[in-house]
Amino acid sequence: MENAFQTVQDIIDWNGWALVWYLIIFAVAVLWVALVFWTLKDARKRIEDALIIAVAVATSLVFPFIGTLVYAILRPPEYLADVRERELEMRAMEAELRIARSCPNCKEPVREDYLVCPKCRKSLRTACPSCGKAVEFSWRTCPYCAADILPSRASGYPVGEATELMGGHA
């Protein structure tokens, strides 16, 4: 019994404990500083407002670990670059839709399946002779029923003119 107690006492009295303790504190401090820098790096990619970035970094600095955790929970889910890219894509798509869905003659909004502009009577598409769906003048085959579309002049507009009026991107 005396022996076991002595062993425990020896372990407690070991001089190396101070060193271990310092190493642990050092590691924790390094992790803390690294998390503060990570917060700064991450916040700059996600947040535009410099003040909010400063608050996020300060929170991470003043409340070690907890502050970083709170930031990680509350941070915006997307990178600014992704948000901007998506906005650009959406704007381009909207512009494309607007072009595709307005009458080339009077700019009246028209639906994809309109054959004639309801406002100015401009012929927009032709009807498939087989299934009756709206098809572009430039198409040679109906994409809905695979029937060949003869360059009919029923609409009165030659193919070339129609594609040119549609914006030239045939």
Label residue 123 left, alpha or beta by phi (over 0 means left) and psi (-120 to 50 means alpha): beta
Among 79, 144, 167, 170, binds Zn ion (CB under 5 A): 144
- Output the CA–CA distances (angstroms, integers) from residue 153 to 31, 125, 158, 160, 168, in the order listed: 76, 12, 7, 12, 20
CB closer to Zn ion, 41 vs 119: 119
CB closer to Zn ion, 27 vs 106: 106
- Output the CA–CA distances (angstroms, integers) from residue 162 to 2, 151, 156, in the order listed: 105, 12, 10
136 binds Zn ion (CB under 5 A): no
CB closer to Zn ion, 62 vs 106: 106
Give the separation between CA 114 and CA 163, rounded to whole angstroms.
Answer: 16
DSSP string, 113-146: T-SB-TTT--B--EE-TTT--EE-TT-SB-TTT-
130 binds Zn ion (CB under 5 A): yes
Tell me the number of residues near Zn ion by CB under 5 A: 15
Per-residue tokens: 77: 């889910």
H helix or E strand, kind and range, residue 91: helix 80-100
CB closer to Zn ion, 95 vs 145: 145
Among 41, 86, 98, 119, binds Zn ion (CB under 5 A): 119
102 binds Zn ion (CB under 5 A): no
CB closer to Zn ion, 61 vs 165: 165
75 binds Zn ion (CB under 5 A): no
122 binds Zn ion (CB under 5 A): yes
Angle made by CA atoms 52, 53, 56, in degrees to the nearest 5 = 85
Stretch binding Zn ion (CB under 5 A), from 2-10, 77-85, 122-130, 155-163: 122-130
Provide the binding-site residues for Zn ion, judged by CB under 5 A: 103, 105-106, 108, 117, 119-120, 122, 128, 130-131, 142, 144-145, 147
